């Protein structure tokens, strides 16, 4: 009988001790924010375009962490969906966008037509448009994320979204055709 | 001179040398081309910016483009002439894309700009010599084109112990360094002396593959008393790679993602060393290089010393290109070179070879077959990588695995693809995978940057909102305070007015009481007069006392009340008003009488009207007099004004008259009226104009 009593007492004592330690750790090492949302946010392309229906990448990251779909990011495209699927261990889904994946774009203001209304400046989520009231505006191309948000507010429609031109610095080698996919004559004509 | 121990290279291949094609004749000079295309980016690093404008005349060796970035190399005019264009021009790149370049139309005079040589370099400081190297725009001539001055600048914590002069030239076909070592041995030696003076290394190794006996002999002969080691290496490809050469000569492996300088080793190509010599001893910037023109499509394969910017087509013509036989045109060697899309591209600082091969010589690659996992590639890889694993990961776009298998240590030498029995273009896979990974990294960096900017903006907007909210609150508070103060003041004023009212009331009450007492007194007096009884007398007496008392109280109260503000009535004005009223009343009476007179017409009325008229006139006169006295100053300047305005009005009228007459005349002219009428109108107009002139 006393053995049972000792065992129960020991277990109760141990559980109390570990419970106290766990309780202390939960308070002492509390993680601020949602770490999963942070990781998702790091994968998203940060264009802040709002095409996913959320006001920016972080809100969408939080929504994904809360269970939203991972295929709502057109600027990220398939690569982002793959990365998210891997991170969250879910099945990758096809991109949910009307026009599919678009090339990297950059906003361009036809400066002769700009009336200096500052509406695009207020719309730009990354402060990539320079200008002042009644002064011509200009896009800092290297800061532009190509999010499209400045196009709609422009009262004179002087903003174009143009695909980023390939330069020698951005040029990349093409992937060779996988082996076995062509016969010799095809291959020669492909070259 | 002891022999330097060699550590044989692991891996490597032995492709056919084909060097005898081009190394049988001395270095040729090239006739000056009509146009030189000098690209702004000829090195690894930041692009330069043009310092000249279209139409400028430039001298040979003049600085024409430079950059503020340290990882850059200045560009100089290769010959004298006129800048005819600055803009996108053909560039030796596999994509065939254009690149900004300065085009110089040569004048054939080859006029040098003033040069500042430092012949006695031993007396010069390392800093000065490095500055000269930087100004000369020297970048590595071996192929990579990294700015030389950055490699040469010693770092305090990384002293250079071993200086390796790379004359291996392991790639087939290329003999530019071979010929350079044979013909410019003296310059090479002086160049090495300069580098030794700058770097103060413990050992100097001149590495030459043993397939260049003439070069080895020439260099050994030129050594004299110098304590440099000339190391003849066994011929194997790619022994000339920087990391491979270091491994062969020192047995040390340069760690992944580290530089040889961290091991205290520095490699320089022989061509670069000669360029350093030219920059210091002769003061000449890097404007020419030795390039091999080779391949079986050329009638006269040779090495040429050509100006930077010389179009490839110009050189091919010199070497006797047989267009019919020509297959692929390759910049660089057959192993690491790339297909040139166009012969219009110029020679740049890194162009060591132009290979015009026939199809028999370099047949197009056979179709790739699936990998059979033979492992030959892994055996020949000089970087100890696993090419077939990398191939599979590249096929599957598995970037993390590619990086885990050290894809970025691949030097793209092509040994694996050379031995592959399935003819898989392995290097192309690695290049594409590297580009993809780099692009992803760039995107990641850009995303991070965008995120930072977005968050900064959000924070800024939030602070602005907070500030506005605070301001709004402050304003509301201020408003409430002022309101409260106003309310307070109003209550005080109310109280004061109440007090005044009370005083007023008291006064009124007293007045009434006084007057009532008076009335009572008077009544009693009347009664007394009528009846005259004792009782009444007493009563009257009492009433008089009471009335007096009331009067006194009233007087006291009146005195206590603040004296009413004196009325602003000025007697003159009052008088004036009175007179005015009298005058107008007289007028009214007169008018009434006149009407009556008209209606009835009696003599009496007539007389009355006459009287009234006189009185009205009198009143009017009185009014005029009163006005004159009351408002003298106004009266004084009014007439002047009226006079003036009369003149003005006359003038205006005359002007309008003239304009109208003119219009009428014009109208008549338009309507083709008869000449008489026109003449009349003309006369009228002239008259009007005259009167206007008079008035003016």
Q: Is residue B410 part of a domain?
A: no
Contacts of residue A168 in chain B, CB cutoff 8 Å? 41, 91, 93, 95, 97, 99
Contact of B562 with chain A, judged by CB distance below 8 Å, is answered with: no
Contacts of residue A179 in chain B, CB cutoff 8 Å? 367-371, 422, 424
CA of A177, closest CA in chain B: separation in Å? 8
Q: How high is the mean pLDDT of chain A? A: 86
Where does the pLDDT of residue B1 fall: very low under 50, low under 70, confident under 90, or very high at 90 and above? very low
What share of chain A in percent tops pLDDT 70? 92
Spell out the domain ranges in chain A: 35-88, 103-172
**Distance, CA of B630 to CA of B634 (rounded, Å):** 9
Where does the pLDDT of residue B83 fall: very low under 50, low under 70, confident under 90, or very high at 90 and above? very high
E strand map for B322-462:
326-331, 338-339, 353-358
**Distance, CA of B384 to CA of B382 (rounded, Å):** 6
pLDDT on residue B637? 44
| Cα angle: B448, vertex B454, B455; to 5 degrees | 90
Is the per-residue pLDDT at B565 higher than 50?
no
Give the pairing type, strands B57-58 and B81-89: antiparallel
Q: What pLDDT digit, counting tens, does each position of B278-300 carry?
A: 999 999 999 999 999 999 999 99
Q: Is residue B457 part of a domain?
A: yes
Where does the pLDDT of residue B437 fall: very low under 50, low under 70, confident under 90, or very high at 90 and above? very high
Contacts of residue B41 in chain A, CB cutoff 8 Å? 168
Where does the pLDDT of residue B588 fall: very low under 50, low under 70, confident under 90, or very high at 90 and above? confident
Phi, psi of B150 (to 5 degrees): -70, -40
Q: Which of residues B82 and B327 earns the better pLDDT score? A: B82
What does the pLDDT average to over B110-138? Answer: 92
**Distance, CA of B106 to CA of B311 (rounded, Å):** 13
How many CB atoms lie under 10 A from the CB of residue B136? 25
**Distance, CA of A61 to CA of A50 (rounded, Å):** 12
| Domain identity same for B322 and B218 | yes
pLDDT on residue B292? 95
What does the pLDDT average to over B248-270? Answer: 91
Boundary (domain end) residue, out of B560, B589, B610: B560
SS3 B299: coil
pLDDT on residue B633? 45
| Domain identity same for B548 and B597 | no
State in Å, rounded, how far the first CA of chain B is from the last one.
117
Phi, psi of B84 (to 5 degrees): -105, -15
Is the per-residue pLDDT at A190 higher than 60?
no
pLDDT on residue B239? 92
Boundary (domain end) residue, out of B343, B358, B373: B358
DSSP B293-327: EESTTBSS-EEEEEETT-BHHHHHHHTTB-TTTEE
Contact of B457 with chain A, judged by CB distance below 8 Å, is answered with: yes
Where does the pLDDT of residue B601 fall: very low under 50, low under 70, confident under 90, or very high at 90 and above? low
The answer for residues whose C-beta is within 8 angstroms of residue B326's C-beta and 6 or more apart is B297, B356, B357, B358
Instruction: State which residue of chain B sits closest to A183, comparing Cα positions.
Output: B367
What does the pLDDT average to over B523-541? Answer: 75
What does the pLDDT average to over B467-484? Answer: 94
| Contact state of B367 with A184 under an 8 Å Cβ cutoff | yes
**Distance, CA of A16 to CA of A160 (rounded, Å):** 67
Q: How high is the mean pLDDT of chain B? A: 86
Q: Which of residues B313 and A56 earns the better pLDDT score? A: B313
Structurally, how many domains does chain B consist of?
A: 3
Phi, psi of B600 (to 5 degrees): -105, -40
| Domain identity same for B96 and B215 | yes
Q: Which domain holds residue B248?
A: 28-358
State CA B362 to chain mean position distance: 50
| Domain identity same for B545 and B593 | no
CA of B450, closest CA in chain A: separation in Å? 6
Q: What pLDDT digit, counting tens, does each position of B130-143 carry?
A: 999 999 999 999 87
Length of chain B measured in residues: 696
CA of B198, closest CA in chain A: separation in Å? 33
Where does the pLDDT of residue B15 fall: very low under 50, low under 70, confident under 90, or very high at 90 and above? very high
Strand partners, B346: B311
Q: Is residue B101 part of a domain?
A: yes
Is the per-residue pLDDT at A191 higher than 60?
no
Strand partners, B233: B209
When mean pLDDT is compared across A48-52, B86-90, B133-137, B263-267, the lowest value belongs to A48-52
Residue position matching structure tokens 């709609």: A152
Instruction: Name the token pair of B94.
Output: 């596999």
Instruction: Name the token pair of B673.
Output: 């009226």
What does the pLDDT average to over B135-154? Answer: 89
DSSP B601-648: --HHHHHHHHHHHHHHHHHHHHHHHHHHHHTHHHHHHHHHHHHHHHHH
SS3 A129: strand
Query: Measuring CA to CA, how many Å separate B175 from each of B22, B140, B168, B316, B459?
Result: 7, 17, 10, 16, 62
Where does the pLDDT of residue A179 fall: very low under 50, low under 70, confident under 90, or very high at 90 and above? low
Contacts of residue B395 in chain A, CB cutoff 8 Å? 178
Strand partners, B37: B103
Where does the pLDDT of residue B2 fall: very low under 50, low under 70, confident under 90, or very high at 90 and above? low
pLDDT on residue B651? 76
Query: Measuring CA to CA, how many Å separate B277 from each of A186, B195, B267, B269, B330?
Result: 52, 9, 16, 13, 30
| Cα angle: A43, vertex A44, A48; to 5 degrees | 155
Q: Is residue B311 part of a domain?
A: yes
The residue among B684, B651, B650, B649 whose CA lies nearest residue B665 is: B684
| Contact state of A175 with B432 under an 8 Å Cβ cutoff | yes
Are the C-beta atoms of residues B654 and B695 closer than 8 Å to each other? yes
Where does the pLDDT of residue B643 fall: very low under 50, low under 70, confident under 90, or very high at 90 and above? low
pLDDT on residue B134? 92
| Domain identity same for B543 and B607 | no
Number of helices and strands in chain B (H, E): 18, 17
**Distance, CA of B186 to CA of B496 (rounded, Å):** 115
pLDDT on residue B641? 47
Is the per-residue pLDDT at B25 higher than 50?
yes
pLDDT on residue B620? 75
Q: Which of residues A185 and B14 earns the better pLDDT score? A: B14
| Domain identity same for B635 and B586 | yes
When mean pLDDT is compared across B139-143, B216-220, B330-334, B480-484, the lowest value belongs to B139-143
What does the pLDDT average to over B509-529? Answer: 80
The residue among A50, A53, A41, A33 whose CA lies nearest residue A83 is: A41
Q: Which of residues B209 and B560 earns the better pLDDT score? A: B209
Query: For residue B169, what is the domain's CATH number?
Result: 3.40.50.11540
Are the C-beta atoms of residues B170 and B269 closer than 8 Å to each other? no
When mean pLDDT is compared across A109-123, B525-539, B593-607, B650-664, the lowest value belongs to B593-607
**Distance, CA of B37 to CA of B310 (rounded, Å):** 7
Contacts of residue B465 in chain A, CB cutoff 8 Å? none
DSSP 8-state secondary structure symbol assigned to residue B158: B
Q: Is residue B539 part of a domain?
A: yes
pLDDT on residue B303? 94
Contacts of residue B425 in chain A, CB cutoff 8 Å? 176
| Contact state of B368 with A79 under an 8 Å Cβ cutoff | no
Question: Which CATH code for domain A35-88?
Answer: 1.10.15.40
**Distance, CA of B469 to CA of B482 (rounded, Å):** 20
Is the per-residue pLDDT at B648 higher than 80?
no
pLDDT on residue B662? 79
Q: Which of B:87-106 have CB within 8 Å of A?
A: 91, 93-95, 97, 99
> Between 1.10.10.350, 3.30.70.20, 3.40.710.10, 3.40.50.720, what CATH number should domain A103-172 receive?
3.30.70.20
* Cα-Cα-Cα-Cα dihedral sign, residues B437, B440, B446, B452: negative
pTM of the model: 0.70
| Contact state of A188 with B364 under an 8 Å Cβ cutoff | yes
Residue position matching structure tokens 């690894």: B44
Query: Measuring CA to CA, how many Å separate B153 from each of B118, B220, B401, B402?
Result: 19, 28, 36, 34
Residues on chain A bordering chain B, Cβ-to-Cβ distance under 8 angstroms: 41, 44-48, 56-57, 79, 125-128, 143, 145, 166-168, 170-180, 182-184, 187-188, 191
DSSP 8-state secondary structure symbol assigned to residue B64: E
Is the per-residue pLDDT at B640 higher than 70?
no
What share of chain B in percent tops pLDDT 90? 54
| Contact state of A143 with B451 under an 8 Å Cβ cutoff | no
DSSP B219-269: HHHHTTT---EEEEEPP-BTTTSHHHHHHHHH-PPPPTT--GGGGTEEEEE
Q: What pLDDT digit, counting tens, does each position of A97-113 carry?
A: 777 777 888 999 998 99
Q: What pLDDT digit, counting tens, does each position of B333-356 carry?
A: 999 999 998 999 999 999 999 999
Q: What pLDDT digit, counting tens, does each position of B162-196 carry?
A: 999 999 999 999 999 999 999 999 999 999 999 99
Contacts of residue B447 in chain A, CB cutoff 8 Å? 44-46
Residue of B447, B455, B462 to mutate, interface with A, max A Cβ within 10 Å = B447
Length of chain A measured in residues: 191
Residue position matching structure tokens 């970087």: B383
What does the pLDDT average to over A149-174? Answer: 87
Where does the pLDDT of residue A184 fall: very low under 50, low under 70, confident under 90, or very high at 90 and above? low
Is the per-residue pLDDT at B522 higher than 70?
yes
**Distance, CA of B266 to CA of B275 (rounded, Å):** 17
Boundary (domain end) residue, out of B307, B333, B358: B358
**Distance, CA of B106 to CA of A35 (rounded, Å):** 65
What does the pLDDT average to over A43-64? Answer: 88
pLDDT on residue B356? 93
| Domain identity same for B598 and B519 | no
Q: Is residue B568 part of a domain?
A: no
Is the per-residue pLDDT at A126 higher than 60?
yes
């Amino acid at each position: 009988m006393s053995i049972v009593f000792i065992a129960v007492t020991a277990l109760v004592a141990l559980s109390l001790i570990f419970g106290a330690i766990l309780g202390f750790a939960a308070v002492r090492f509390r993680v601020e924010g949602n770490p999963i949302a942070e990781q998702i946010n790091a994968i998203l392309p940060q264009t802040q375009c709002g095409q996913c229906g959320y006001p920016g990448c972080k809100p969408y990251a939080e929504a994904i962490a809360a269970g939203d779909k991972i295929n709502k990011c057109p600027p990220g495209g398939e690569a982002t969906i793959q990365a998210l699927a891997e991170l969250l261990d879910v099945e990758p889904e096809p991109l949910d966008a009307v026009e599919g994946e678009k090339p990297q774009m950059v906003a361009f203001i036809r400066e002769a037509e700009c009336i200096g209304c500052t509406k695009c400046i207020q719309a730009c989520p990354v402060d990539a448009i320079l200008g002042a009231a009644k002064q011509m505006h200009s896009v800092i191309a290297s800061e532009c994320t190509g999010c499209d948000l400045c196009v709609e507010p422009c009262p004179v429609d002087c903003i174009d979204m143009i695909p980023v031109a390939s330069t020698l610095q951005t040029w990349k080698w093409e992937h060779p055709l996988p082996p076995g996919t062509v016969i010799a004559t095809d291959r020669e004509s492909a070259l | 001179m002891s022999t330097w121990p060699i550590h044989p290279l692991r891996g490597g291949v032995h492709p056919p040398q084909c060097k005898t094609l081009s190394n049988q004749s001395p270095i040729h000079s090239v006739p000056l081309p009509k146009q030189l295309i000098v690209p702004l980016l000829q090195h690894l690093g930041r692009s330069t910016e043009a310092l000249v404008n279209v139409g400028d005349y430039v001298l040979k060796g003049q600085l024409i483009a430079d950059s503020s970035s340290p990882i850059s190399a200045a560009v100089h005019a290769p010959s004298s002439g006129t800048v005819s264009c600055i803009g996108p021009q053909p560039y030796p790149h596999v994509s065939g894309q254009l690149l900004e370049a300065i085009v110089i139309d040569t004048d054939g005079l080859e006029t040098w700009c003033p040069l500042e040589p430092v012949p006695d370099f031993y007396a010069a400081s390392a800093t000065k010599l490095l500055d000269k190297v930087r100004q000369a725009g020297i970048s590595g001539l071996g192929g990579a084109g990294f700015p030389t001055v950055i490699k040469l600048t010693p770092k305090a914590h990384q002293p250079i112990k071993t200086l390796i002069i790379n004359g291996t030239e392991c790639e087939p076909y290329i003999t530019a360094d071979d010929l350079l070592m044979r013909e410019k041995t003296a310059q090479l030696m002086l160049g090495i002396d300069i580098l030794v003076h700058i770097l103060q290394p413990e050992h100097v190794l001149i590495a030459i593959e043993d397939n260049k006996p003439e070069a080895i002999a020439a260099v050994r002969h030129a050594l004299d008393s110098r304590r440099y080691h000339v190391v003849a290496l066994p011929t194997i490809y790619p022994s000339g790679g920087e990391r491979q050469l270091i491994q062969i000569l020192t047995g040390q492996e340069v760690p992944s993602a580290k530089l040889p300088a961290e091991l205290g080793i520095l490699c320089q190509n022989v061509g670069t060393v000669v360029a350093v010599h030219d920059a210091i001893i002769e003061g000449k910037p890097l404007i020419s290089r030795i390039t091999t023109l080779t391949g079986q499509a050329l009638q006269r394969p040779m090495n040429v010393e050509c100006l930077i910017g010389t179009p490839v087509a110009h050189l091919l013509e010199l070497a006797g290109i047989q267009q019919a036989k020509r297959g692929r045109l390759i910049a660089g060697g057959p192993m690491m070179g790339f297909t040139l899309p166009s012969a219009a591209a110029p020679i740049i600082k890194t162009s060591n070879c132009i290979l015009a091969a026939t199809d028999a010589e370099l047949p197009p690659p056979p179709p790739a077959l699936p990998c059979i996992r033979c492992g030959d590639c892994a055996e020949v890889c000089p970087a100890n990588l696993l090419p077939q694993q990398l191939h599979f990961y590249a096929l599957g776009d598995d970037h993390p695995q590619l990086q885990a298998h050290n894809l970025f240590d691949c030097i793209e030498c092509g040994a694996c693809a050379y031995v592959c029995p399935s003819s898989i273009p392995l290097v192309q896979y690695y290049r594409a995978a590297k580009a993809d990974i780099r692009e992803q990294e760039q995107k990641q960096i850009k995303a991070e940057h965008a995120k930072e900017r977005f968050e900064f903006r959000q924070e800024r907007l939030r602070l602005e909102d907070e500030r506005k909210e605070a301001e709004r609150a402050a304003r509301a508070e201020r408003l409430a305070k002022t309101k409260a103060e106003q309310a307070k003041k109003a209550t005080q004023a109310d109280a004061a007015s109440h007090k005044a009212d009370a005083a007023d009331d008291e006064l009124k009450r007293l007045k009434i009481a006084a007057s009532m007492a008076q009335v009572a007194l008077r009544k009693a007096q009347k009664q007394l007069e009528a009846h005259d009884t004792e009782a009444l007398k007493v009563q009257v007496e009492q009433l008089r006392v009471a009335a007096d008392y009331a009067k006194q109280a009233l007087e006291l109260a009146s005195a206590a009340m603040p004296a009413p503000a004196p009325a602003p009535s000025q007697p003159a004005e009052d008088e004036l008003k009175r007179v005015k009223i009298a005058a107008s009343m007289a007028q009214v009476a007169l008018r009434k009488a006149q009407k009556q007179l008209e209606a009835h017409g009696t003599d009496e009325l007539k007389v009355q009207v006459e009287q009234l008229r006189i009185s009205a006139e009198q009143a009017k006169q009185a009014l005029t007099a009163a006005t004159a006295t009351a408002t003298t100053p106004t009266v004084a300047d009014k007439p002047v004004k009226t006079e003036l305005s009369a003149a003005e009005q006359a003038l205006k009228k005359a002007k309008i008259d003239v304009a109208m007459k003119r219009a009428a005349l014009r109208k008549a002219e338009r309507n083709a009226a008869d000449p008489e009428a026109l003449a009349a109108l003309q006369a009228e107009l002239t008259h009007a104009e005259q009167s206007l002139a008079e008035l003016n």
